[in-house]
Amino acid sequence: MSLFSSIKSLFSGERSTDKAPESLPSEAYNGYTITPAPVREELGFRVNGLITKGELSHQFIRADILPTAEECAKEVVRKAKQMIDQQGDKIF
């Protein structure tokens, strides 16, 4: 996306469709389900995911940007496991 296109989209209200998260395969961890959903950005993929347990869910997004969706998904899982270990059900 060029600088002009970026500025134009700010004033026209256009939203880029390439930023929609794409859910990747989920992973079970200690009774929780972690679903990576990296968001495509200009420089790579932003860390974004969903932690669920039963009917409860917690979506999180972080500032980290990684070059590939696969690397980003691994980071989402790592960060989600860390949150689960530190906070448990307080996440919800």
Sequence spans of domains, the chain: 18-91
3-state SS of 22-37?
CCCCCEEECCEEEEEC
pLDDT, one tens digit per residue, over 51-81 is 999 999 999 999 999 999 999 999 999 999 9
Report how far residue 19's alpha carbon sits from residue 77's, in angstroms, rounded to the nearest whole number. 20
Q: In the CATH scheme, what is the code of domain 18-91?
A: 3.30.160
pTM metric for this prediction: 0.77
Task: Name the phi and psi angles at 90, rounded to 5.
Answer: -65, -15
